[in-house]
Structure 1
Amino acid sequence: MSDVLPLPEFLPGMGTLFVNPQTLPAGPFLAYDHDGKLSATIYMTPLEDLQNGTSFDNLGLGSEAVKTVDIYYNAGHPGVEKPHAHIALFHDDGAKERLAE
């Protein structure tokens, strides 16, 4: 993602993100740890779109294995400027901790 947007290569809490620009804003954003292991699939759904009834259907998955899910607010950042929800699907038991480093 840092090739397309002015963001660092590794974002603490999210890892190294890869996204197909055609799938913005929702994604999926594939989140890799420092060792290159796919650790999470993250969606970024603008709150305004959800409030206006937009559905985000058939979003891709980085992996079918999902151990935990976090949903939290983000005020906006390059790539998804509007306030939005992050929906993070963590793919294994240590994924969240590896992405936090």
Structure 2
Amino acid sequence: MIRLLPLAAAMLIATTGLSVAHLETALDQSPPGEPYVQVSDVLPLPAFLPGLGTLFVDPATLPAGPFLAYDHDGKLSATVFMTPLEDLQNGTAYGGLGIGAHTVSGVDIYYNAGHPGIEKPHAHVVLYHDDEAKGRLAE
């Protein structure tokens, strides 16, 4: 029995790694599936936002996100967080936020005065998932 314990632990670790990999690859192509909704389907925004791409979000994670940003070919290119400045100034912490992919090649952080869905001034934190992602989302 004791000899089976290491084997069982190794199998558990191996299958856990596979399920995490499966979850990440499930988000690689648009649409990502439930619970995500396309932002332009629920807010008066264009389907593709230059600089951010086609956005999907789980409504339960608003306002911070993560917002999954896809390029014109439906490839996951970035994960975006939108954190209201007032909330941050008042001490709100946004912890345990998910990401669309584990690879991050660059990060941009910038101010946004507000838009449909997140009307308050907020910071956009954009995690790009490959070296060409920023360029693909810009067009």
1:4-19 equivalence runs, <5 A: 4-19=42-57
Distance in 1 separating the partners of 2:126 and 2:117: 17
How far off is 1:21 after superposition? 1.1
Matched, 1:63 2:101: yes
Query: Is 1:29 aligned with 2:67?
Result: yes
Q: Which has the higher contact order (CA 8 A, sep 6+)?
A: 1
Could you report, residue by residue, the CA deviation over 1:13-48 in whole angstroms, capped at 9, with x for unpaired residues? 000000011111000000000000000000000000
> Secondary structure, in 3 states, of the residue corresponding to 1:2?
helix
> Normalized per residue, which structure has more strand?
1
2:129, 2:99 → 1: CA distance?
A: 10
**Structure-1-length-normalised TM-score:** 0.99
Unaligned stretches of 5+ in structure 1? none
| Aligned partner of 2:82 among 34, 44, 51 | 44
Match of 1:86 in 2: 124
Q: How many residues were matched structurally? A: 101
Superposed displacement of residue 96, structure 1: 0.1
Counterpart code for 1:60: G
The one-character-per-residue Cα deviations of 1:49-72 (angstroms, maximum 9, x if unpaired) are 000000000000000000000000
- Going by fraction, where is helix more abundant, 1 or 2? 2
Identity, % of aligned pairs? 77
- Whole-angstrom CA distance in 2 between matches of 1:72 and 1:25: 16
Which ranges of 4 or more aligned residues in structure 1 deviate by more than 4 Å?
none
Secondary structure at 2:68 match in 1: strand
Compute the RMSD of aligned alpha carbons: 0.4
CA distance in 1, matches of 2:118, 2:129: 23
| Runs (5+) with no aligned partner, structure 2 | 1-38
